Amino acid sequence: MAMPVKNAKITNCYKDPLCKIKYTKGYHTGVDFIGADGQYVPVCAFRDASVLKVGWDPAGWGNYIILRYAGKYDVVHAHLSKVLVSQGAAVKEGQQIGVMGTTGNSTGVHLHFEVRVAPWTNRNDINASNFLGILNQRGPVQDKPIMIPEVIFSSPGDDEMAAAYLARFLKAERRALTAPGDLANVEHAYVIGSPVKPIQNTTNIVGTDRFDTARKTLELCK
């Protein structure tokens, strides 16, 4: 994963308790970054994604780009001075997509980075700092996100027991397939008893029945 801004500083974090601005939703729905290296710095794609929308919102986001990631997250990049991609394009992780700016409803040059569960029109924002694997607080941002090497996913019930066993063996985190949480900083996933791939790098363990699935899972624990 790449940071949307290199050598960045957070000036207003997600649901920032220090924020004095009155937002429609009652809190700051994204993370505001400034560049430590200057004002009009490059804004880059955090992951391989597609450009869902390029827009102009003079009263709000100004020049903005929405990237769709993994088919289920819509990521807003707002207040840009320049947009370097067009709608429908595929972008690569780390590729420059625009230049930071202060267009729209903004008092200074910054990037408003917001993550919503798709579709973005539902306005259901999630914690963008957690999504990027960085600390949700004001100040300098580490350039390397905190990555989670492995997560084991399962549905409730029998597969969950096999998942628990594997999680103990691998010392990995376990999550419900129905509530996968933020996935951008997950490097590798195991999915027990389902062909679903929450991220690209997924190992599916599916047997002919639930016993076979459990057997196959236990085989990995040898």
Closest residue by Cα to residue 10 from 79, 105, 112? 112
Q: How far is the CB of 107 from Zn ion (least distance, A)?
A: 11
Q: How far is the CB of 114 from Zn ion (least distance, A)?
A: 7
Q: Report the residue number, 30 or 133, with the smaller CB distance to Zn ion.
A: 30
- CA 83 and chain centroid, separation: 21
32 lies in the site for Zn ion, by CB under 5 A: yes
**SS3 sequence of 141-203:** CCCCCCCEEEEEEECCCHHHHHHHHHHHHHCCEEEECCCCCCCCCEEEEEEECCCCCCCCCEE
Residue 55: what are its φ and ψ, rounded to 5°? -145, 175
Q: What number of chain residues touch Zn ion (CB under 5 A)?
A: 3
Contact present, 162 and 213 (Cβ < 8 Å): yes
Q: Select from 77, 112, 116, 175 the one that contacts Zn ion (CB under 5 A).
A: 112
Q: Report the residue number, 32 or 160, with the smaller CB distance to Zn ion.
A: 32
31-39, 131-139, 163-171, 196-204 -> range binding Zn ion (CB under 5 A): 31-39
68-76, 87-95, 112-120, 149-157 -> range binding Zn ion (CB under 5 A): 112-120
107-115, 138-146, 182-190, 201-209 -> range binding Zn ion (CB under 5 A): 107-115
d(CA 175, CA 185): 14
Residues that bind Zn ion (CB under 5 A): 30, 32, 112
